[in-house]
Amino acid sequence: MHTSVEWLALHGLSASQVQGVICDCFTDNLEIPPPSHSLFHSRVAVADQDHSMSALKFQCECYRDIVVPAFVVAFANKSEIEHLLSKNVEHQSLSSRGVVPHTVDKGRGDPPTILMNWNGRVEDLMCLAHETTHALQILLSNHETMPPVGRETCAFIGELLLLDHVKEHLPDLYPALVDVWYGENDFYLGSCVDALEDSLNHPDISYHYYQNYPLARLAAMQMYCSGQKDWLFSFLSSGRDAMVYLPIDALAKSAVDIRNSFPPLLQPDAAWPAVDAYRSLGVMALLDIGYGQNEFRANIGDYYLELLKHLENCTAFIALDNERKPVGYATWMRSDVDNNVTITRQTALLGQRFNMRWALKQYISTSKGVKASYTRNASKEMLIW
């Protein structure tokens, strides 16, 4: 699979359906299971910052005593699931650094192998639940390949099963596990959405596994909080047909009209620079109100002064489309040492982040002769596969 067109076809999805689901990432009308009802809720305070818990010393014990019971309880055929997880899943350490945790299907007759390193952290427990679901889905689907979005939806449901189990049986561990879940949300519904948007807007960009995560994360949350879990066994068993279980249309129904409703920005008037500055400030604020995520946690006075300072220092940029309608803006800081700049703020219309970043890069590199680096970057990290 090389392009987003092939990716859409494999999953039986249309670009507009996917764009509709992406809009969910920026609205508050999505129902979220415990621990919260808001996607961008602040992460909970965790007493034990290093996430090192004595209860998580050994991987085999955590698998047997925490992960397997968390899964078994959700199925009607409990003894079959317990048998599969206990006798038909292999565990191995990763052979080299830089390889992300993953699960290997060696084909019919062989047990799937979970490859990950164990350091006794809460993150490792979440990762083990994620990979265990991949292994279980391989076994229940009789090794038939599941489309990646379906596969990752299974794995995210496994994480939610773990959260529920830990909440009830290991309450001391629960706050730290919730914190990990939110941390991963920042990635799956942040950088991975950028990767997905880039892929939809620019079909020539080659497929990246990241683009599977946003839909899978949102679908898993929606399915899990529907209450009943009677579909769980057949979903994990569904192999290539997994996508019919995902509530894509329900997720996409909240899609908003993403046509650019901004009026065209007037040409700058050298005689009235102050008017231009305030017009720019207004555009930035409107973009943040409509499409920003965290900007209005700031005090309005601080927000105003920060943007004003960027305008005075010429470290702000508003990207316009062909009709001079604003599509996004960014601000940056310049390093005195190496003449590089770091982007400190960027907001763009849905589906326009790639274009905004491209225009910004052109602007900075051609006019200032410096390199830009980004604080949010789809290739910065990979948590679990």
Q: Could you list the residues that contact Zn ion (CB under 5 A)?
A: 155, 385
Give the shortest CB-186-to-Zn ion separation in angstroms: 17
Handedness of CA 70, 71, 74, 78 (dihedral sign): negative
CB of 369 to Zn ion, least distance (A): 42
Nearest to residue 136, comparing CAs of 164, 99, 171, 162? 162
- Residue 190 Cβ vs Zn ion, minimum distance, rounded to whole Å: 17
Q: Token pair of 116, please?
A: 């990950």
Rounded CA separation 176/50 (Å): 10
The residue whose Cβ lies closest to Zn ion is 155
Q: How many CA atoms lie within 13 A of 300 on its CB side?
A: 2
User: Residue 264, preceding bond cis, omega within 30 degrees?
Assistant: no
Q: CA–CA distance from 230 to each of 74, 127, 226 (Å)?
A: 9, 24, 11
Q: Are 24 and 222 in contact (CB under 8 A)?
A: no
**CB of residue 383 vs Zn ion: minimum separation in angstroms?**
9
Which residue, 158 or 175, is less far from Zn ion as judged by CB?
A: 158
Q: Which is nearer to Zn ion, 11 or 357 (CB)?
A: 11
CA atoms within 13 A on the CB side of 299: 4
Encode burial over 222-251: b for 16+ CB neighbours within 10 A, e otherwise. Answer: bbbeeeebeebbebbbbbebbbebbebeeb
Cα 96 to Cα 93, 115, 117, 353, 383: the distances in Å are 9, 11, 10, 35, 16
Relative orientation angle of helices 4-11 and 15-24, to the nearest 10 degrees: 90
Q: Which two tokens stand for residue 284?
A: 């930035």
Q: What is the largest CA-CA distance in the chain?
A: 80
Q: How far apart are CA 138 and CA 160, in angstroms?
A: 19
Inter-residue contact 165 to 70 (CB < 8 Å): yes
Q: How far is the CB of 24 from Zn ion (least distance, A)?
A: 20
Structure-block tokens of residue 12: 């039986």
Smaller CB distance to Zn ion: residue 304 or 385?
385
Instruction: Compute the least distance from the CB of residue 385 to Zn ion, in Å.
Output: 5
What's the closest the beta carbon of residue 134 comes to Zn ion, in angstroms? 6
Q: Which residue lies nearer to Zn ion by CB, 303 or 385?
A: 385
Q: Which is nearer to Zn ion, 146 or 343 (CB)?
A: 146
Min dist CB 132 to Zn ion, Å, is: 11
Write out the two tokens for 1.
């699979």
101 vs 292, beta carbon nearer Zn ion: 101
Q: Kindly tell me which of 13 and 155 has the beta carbon lying closer to Zn ion.
A: 155
The DSSP element (H or E) to which 213 belongs, if any, is helix 213-224
Q: Is 146 or 155 the residue whose CB approaches Zn ion more closely?
A: 155
CB of 152 to Zn ion, least distance (A): 5
Choose between 131 and 179: whose C-beta lies nearer to Zn ion: 131
